[in-house]
Structure formats: C-alpha cells, structure tokens
A = this chain, B = another copy of it.
C-alpha cells in the first residue's frame, strides 16, 4: 500500500540526509510539491510555481540544481513525453511507461512489466539492457490510426 503523504515526505527527507545531502528550505519545498503531486509529472516551471503558491521563494537555478541532485541519488527522475521540456516526478512507484500519440497528444500508460519482455530480444542479440525510464514511446494511438478499425468520433 502507498505511504501517506506525510510519511512519504519523511521517507524522502531520510533519503536526502542519508545520501549526504543537506536538508534545506528549497529542498523541503520541492519535496513537498513532488509529494503532493505524486500521480503527476511536473516541469521545472510547474514545480517552481507550486513552490511559490506555497508562499516560498526560491531561485529557478535552484530548482534545476535540486532536481539534478535528487536524480543523482535516485529520488526523482524525468521523462520526455515529446518535444516538450522534461517532466519530473518521484521515482517511487514509477512502474509504468508512456505511449504518447503524436497526432492527438494523448498519453497511455502501460505497466513496465508488459514492456520489458519486448526488449529481451535486444538483450539476447546485442547484450543491451534497455532502461525504459527516460523517453516515452511515440507513435499513433488507436483513435488516430485511420487504417486500424478504431476511427475517431
């Protein structure tokens, strides 16, 4: 079962401290936003806006640096859903992959466990272990693919 929001934040703070990073106001502020939006993917500017809505002021450069620092300790990562800037979220419970339709923009979530077997072939043929956490899979969804028996409307 999922952690409550406050115990999630506590666990995050633990991880920051135990990784040798200091627990500062900007880092708390960013953690708070990420915890409150656990189901979403936020851009740096969305994170910054949310921090400001909480009545706190931090510098944009601090947001960029903090996210990079958090990524280094495995606390967060970002994905690219298209040509847009990366979108960030907590790494915990991130067990799905994104199919993004280049035509209508819709995103479909697919459990990672369904995707991983596809890449088994790459492992066998090339010894290459694909990691599926950085880029979405782009393409055309059922509704937008005219020849597929799933027409729009």
Instruction: Please give me the residue from chain B that is nearest to A78 by CB atom.
Output: B83
Instruction: Write the A117-137 contact mask toward B (1 if CB under 8 angstroms, else 0).
Output: 011011001111111001111
Interface size on A, residues (CB 8 A): 31
- A-B pairs, top 9 by smallest CB distance, nearest first, are A127-B142, A135-B135, A130-B139, A118-B118, A129-B140, A131-B139, A129-B139, A99-B128, A134-B138
Q: Which residues of A contact B (CB under 8 A)?
A: 80, 99, 101-102, 108, 110, 114, 118-119, 121-122, 125-131, 134-143, 145, 148, 150
Can you list 11 contacts pairing A with B, beta carbon distance less than 8 Å? A99-B122, A101-B128, A110-B122, A122-B137, A127-B142, A127-B148, A128-B140, A128-B142, A130-B138, A131-B139, A135-B138
